[in-house]
Amino acid sequence: MSDTTRKPDVLVIDYGVGNHRSVTNALERLGYSYAVSHKKEDIQKARAYILPGVGAFEEAMLNLKKRDIIEVLRREVVEKKKPLLGICLGMQVLAEDSIEGGLHQGLGFIPGHVVRIPAASVRVPHVGWNELMVYRSEPLFASVPKGARFYFDHSFYFQTEKEYIAAACSYGEEITAAVQKDNIYGVQFHPEKSQTSGLRLLRAFMEHTKN
């Protein structure tokens, strides 16, 4: 539950795509306080962000524009370095652009492009529980046991430089599973729907935001 007397631990940005319920439900299970909003003043006040998202890239960017929150997010996250975790589509919009449904510009918080998973040898969308190859375990994967599986459900993925890839999974070829640049994090899978492994990851992010 949101506590009005105290600043919530995290702001879940509600921009009309997908269900933020499962994210807030997971936060509640872990015992963190949160607020859900898309208002500029709330974004300014918050100390950390979760950007969820299920849907199509174009719709997501359109909704962020309609709510006029791109600039305030850029200021708080890129300039003031407040931590942000993008989930699934919320991770993809961090990229420079995406080819989903035509070429669309993204937020450009992390260099890279969203491209379609090559369907040469695998079925697309990539649906189900996959194992990760973790390249940077701090901070997100520090308490996730080796061989843990996470739930993926996507047709496009974030193609970026090796230095920004925190984890990848194998699906036909290597697919980016998590990105990380300074205070900005993104996961392609759904930690809020990945049982205890996912909860561990969310807790790691939340604990990290307190530093």
Partner 1 sequence: MLSKRIIASLIVKDGIVVQSVGFKKYLPIGSPEIAVEFLNQWGADEIVVVDIEASRENRTLDLGLLARLADKSMVPLTVGGGINSVETIRQLIRMGADKVVINRAAIEHPELIHEAARIFGNQCVVVSIDAKEVGEGRYEAFTDSGRTGTGKDPVEVARSCAAQGAGEIFIRSIDRDGSKKGFDTELIRRVSEAVDIPVVAAGGCGHPQHIADAFQNGHADAVAVGNSFHFTEHSVTIAKAFLKSDFPIRLDTYATYAHTTFDDAGRLAKQDDAVLEKLRFEYHPKEVI
Binding site for partner 1 (CB under 8 A): 17-19, 21-22, 25-26, 29-30, 54-56, 59, 89, 101, 119, 123-131, 148-149, 151-155, 170-171, 190, 192-200, 203
Q: Is 20 left (phi over 0), alpha (psi -120 to 50) or beta?
A: alpha
What span, in angstroms and rounded, lies between the C-alpha atoms of 33 and 114? 32
Rounded least distance, CB 37 to partner 1, Å:
16
Q: Respond yes or no: is residue 88 known to be catalytic.
A: yes
Read off the amino acid at residue 44: Q
Q: How far is the CB of 56 from partner 1 (least distance, A)?
A: 5
- Angle (deg, nearest 10), helices 195-209 and 21-30: 80
Query: 43: part of which helix (H) or strand (E)?
Result: helix 40-45
Q: Which of 59, 76, 100, 192 is catalytic?
A: 192
Our CB check for partner 1 shows the closer of 130 and 180 to be 130
Indicate the Cα dihedral angle 33, 35, 41, 47, nearest 10°: 30
Q: Strand 156-159 relative to strand 113-116: parallel, antiparallel, unpaired?
A: antiparallel
Which of 81, 7, 82, 93 lies closest to 52 in space, CA to CA? 93
Nearer to partner 1, 82 or 154 (CB): 154
What is the nearest approach in angstroms of partner 1 to the Cβ of residue 87?
Answer: 12
Cβ-based nearer residue to partner 1, 103 or 129: 129
Nearer to partner 1, 99 or 127 (CB): 127
To partner 1, the closest distance from the beta carbon of 76 in angstroms equals 26
* 153-156-159 Cα angle (round to 5): 125
CB of 89 to partner 1, least distance (A): 7
Smaller CB distance to partner 1: residue 44 or 196?
196
Q: Which of 20, 38, 88, 100 is catalytic?
A: 88
Return the percent helix, strand and coil in the chain, to nearest 5.
Answer: 30, 30, 40
Active-site positions read: 88, 190, 192
